[in-house]
Structure 1
Amino acid sequence: MTTDQILVRIGEAAQLHHHQGQRDAARHLLSQIWDEIGGDHGNPLHVCVLAHTMADVQDDVHQELLWDQRALTAADRLTDEQTTQAGVALPVAGLYPSLHLNLADCYRKLGDLARARAREHLRHAQSGIDALGDDEYGRLIRNGLHTLMQQLTAPAVPQAK
């Protein structure tokens, strides 16, 4: 468990959304933290986790995609030493399957023209899946990949704009 107070607060925002259904409150708290950490120029672990969480509370898929892209960019600046120092048990490589899964799902939601990009991110997610353990988080990501793979093989249904 992390003792990094920024990560703890990001976790609290995630709880507001996932367990209490307070999407707007979560988005507001994450926006405050985003400003505090210096946005994209902040600590890459904070930026990655916050952007990954912020994507989940967006109402517009284009905004969700933007936040997911920020998370991936920040992950590319991360080291295992940084995650370990923050008390995060997962190595950096273990972040990529979820990040790519979310990007693939955004592109899937955008419809036919974005399906090739969705499949590309799905392949990236699958190629990094061995970095995950056989625990609850690993199973969650594997199940998400399986579901997304099924959705991408089904006929596309365009999203309303």
Structure 2
Amino acid sequence: MIEIERKFLVKSEAFKTEASASYTIKQGFLNSHKERTVRVRLKKNSGFITIKGKSTSNGLSRFEWEKEISKQEAENLLTLCEDGIIDKIRYEVVFGKHIFEVDVFSGVNEGLCIAEVELNSENEFFEKPHWLGIEVTGDIRYYNSQLSKDPFKSWK
């Protein structure tokens, strides 16, 4: 139940030709407090409710609990979410021994593209694809809960 991941900006669209899957995601937050977030997500034809705890000081790890719910339940819960619904297309790219999830945001976060890789330990080695840019792990501006409140297009 501890999620360990690293986040990176993406510097080219080369990942699209390497993707093994892609799908749309719509998500909102029932609670976006920095100590905990409660997220509702529509992914493909399924819904999910996720609770995440506060990140460690380096931003690499945090508690995460997720449960699948019906598409209808997720649609209903999205109507209760805080302002700032997030829309994105997720691409899954297998590279080395890991799967990179690359999110291409639309709407008020259009222009932002972030890749995440989940790890088994904070020190785990992973190969980096050539299209990875600078690391933004731990930078709260790139958390989806923050992007729902302070969208990428409003950054100076």
Higher relative contact order (CA 8 A, sep 6+): 2
TM-score computed with the length of structure 2 as normaliser: 0.31
TM-score computed with the length of structure 1 as normaliser: 0.30
More helix by share: 1
